[in-house]
Chains A and B, each alone.
Chain A
């Protein structure tokens, strides 16, 4: 059982983080990206060509993380591979003992720096979850056997901050029926949207069926917030937040305050199982946020009684 699955099963508060993209530099480059927060997280996401920019593949990075002693969550998007390619990645991950797989649709190729590329989307994220679940049950989509069946812990992403807002929990429920056991919610800068989603998630039984993990994004400048607002599909940053950070005497500190406030609000919501933390710089922002919120290290969490943090 993966460390992440174990923590979720035991109803311990989980912390996951996103690894900055890797293009070169060997294992050292991977290590320096997670070392600052290694003590706090249960697992770290190896991303799959984020924002449709090519990087070292999620399988390669996930293997590197594993070799370096960090448990990976391998992200897989439907944008760049057809069903054969996706199944091959999952089988390959399982071969290396990687269990956590996060299935996403993926940003469109037009969001990236090679917009002339062919988009694939042979499967969608729900179908990918089903396919992965069938592999864990011992066969490919074709029905061909996999013996022994790979051990997998499947998850997905849902965006509480994109229309149609009143359908997002239903969509998440569909992902759970398709096999998702955890959902990392897309970064949101409008806490009222996360709150509305979580209320409905509790009412409809979603929170009881899978671990809901809101994402918090740490940036160091108002410019970065503006960039996210303008260039990252599906994430809106309210003008008030950008203005507040710009006006502040120390904009960098203010950006950190914003992240802390969002994280504090998110983790206090009923049904929230943990936090997913994303920092766009190689620095200790993630560890600092955990310390600030009083989230103990992974080891301390694992050794304590399961109480809401």
Chain B
């Protein structure tokens, strides 16, 4: 139910893919799952000179937008965070619920990033 509401709100606005572990806050309110390579830590090296996507030339690179927009936010520095791998089991679940329960913060046991 909550997942359905979340999808109804976030799909039209952010192109949300319901990964269930939302990072919009730290990516300039730009969904990284819109990237054909689903990169969560910045742009690949294939971005075209006009700032468009290597895979979908008609689309502006998600990360070009994310970097640009993040700079206008008070928490601009969060773009530099190292984001952990997606937990594929959460696909289709509500990130709001997962945020509330803390489930979206669970990372693999062997995932450690210094500083």
Contacts and interface: CB of A to CB of B under 8 A. Distances in A.
Interface of A: 78-79, 83, 104-108, 110-111, 119, 121-127, 130-131, 134, 137, 139-144, 157-159, 162-164, 167, 170-171, 173-174, 177-178, 186, 233-234, 236
B92 interface: no
A108 B110 contact: no
A121 B51 CA distance: 21
B67 A119 contact: no
Contact of A167 (B43, B48, B83, B114): B43
Residue of B38, B39, B41 ringed by the most chain A CB atoms within 10 A = B41
20 contacts: A104-B45, A108-B46, A122-B85, A124-B39, A124-B40, A124-B42, A126-B42, A127-B85, A130-B111, A141-B108, A141-B110, A142-B108, A159-B46, A164-B68, A170-B79, A171-B41, A171-B42, A173-B80, A174-B82, A177-B115
A121 B37 contact: yes
Nearest to A139: B110
A234 B113 contact: no
Contacts of A233: 45-46, 54
A108 B54 contact: yes
Contacts, number: 129
Contacts of A157: 45
B35 to A, nearest CB: 9
Contacts of B50: 163
B73 to A, nearest CB: 15
Contacts of B110: 131, 134, 139-144
B48 to A, nearest CB: 8
B46 A107 contact: yes
Interface of B: 36-51, 54-55, 61, 63-64, 67-68, 79-80, 82-86, 88, 108-115
Given A141-B108, A177-B113, A123 B85 contact: yes
A186 B45 contact: yes
B8 to A, nearest CB: 27
The 7 closest A-B CB pairs, nearest first, are A143-B109, A159-B45, A233-B46, A126-B41, A143-B110, A105-B44, A162-B47
Contacts of B115: 177
Contacts of A121: 37-39
B64 A163 contact: yes
Nearest to B49: A236
